[in-house]
Structure 1
């Protein structure tokens, strides 16, 4: 698989993961309860697949600087997601709004950068 294809598939994986993320954020901010575990796991699985593919493309093949920055932002988002899951969800604590927002902002910014590389052919 060539780099362009890997980046395209990564964007699609992150896009579907983002739909789950938006749904979970809506659940969290609509009331004082956390989203269901199955949705969080599905979201994390898709995001991890996209992250793994992007990391492979970056390390094995080389990607533009904007895609490298997207990778860094997705790693930050993954760290936030891990904390949300392992510290809060696992212990049945309400997800802190500030961490949900930071997690989402890092992921959205990473997605915008990666999508720009794919859609616009940005060299970064």
Structure 2
């Protein structure tokens, strides 16, 4: 597996996670309620699968530094996501908006860094 392929697969999965994350944010802020669990599970499933591919690539394929920083940011976003789920969602408490925004911002910045690293590998022919 090449670095560009691993990053590309992860980006496809994260794109689905981002789209579902936008739906989750609208569900949370649209009616002052936590989003439906089915959306949470799909969002988490896509994100976890993408993250596992990123980890495999980081350890066994090798990524440029930009991608590795993106992986670290995705890990931080995953921590916030798990915290939201176990601390608030499962306890039927409203998730504070600052946590939702922080999770989304960190995840999107990490995603953009990974996408940028993948596109740079493709353009230089090193992927």
In structure 2, what is the Cα distance between the partners aligned to 1:63 and 1:5? 11
Deviations, residues 39-79 of structure 1 (Å, cap 9, x unaligned): 00110010000011001100112100000000000000000
1:8 has 2:8 as partner = yes
- Find the counterpart in structure 2 of residue 73 from structure 1: 73
- 1:1-124 residue pairs with structure 2 within 5 A? 1-121=1-121
In structure 1, what is the Cα distance between the partners aligned to 2:84 and 2:50? 19
Per-residue deviation, 1:24: 0.4
User: Is the partner of 1:93 in helix, strand or coil?
Assistant: coil
**Cα root mean square deviation, aligned:** 1.3
Where do 4+ consecutive residues of structure 1 move more than 3 Å? none
How many residue pairs end up in the alignment?
123
User: Is the partner of 1:17 in helix, strand or coil?
Assistant: helix
**Where in structure 1 are there 5+ consecutive unaligned residues?**
none
> Which of structures 1 and 2 has the larger relative contact order (alpha carbons within 8 angstroms, sep 6+)?
2
Q: What TM-score do the two structures reach when normalised by structure 2? A: 0.93
In structure 2, what is the Cα distance between the partners aligned to 1:32 and 1:71? 32
**Where in structure 2 are there 5+ consecutive unaligned residues?**
none
In structure 1, what is the Cα distance between the partners aligned to 2:69 and 2:29? 29
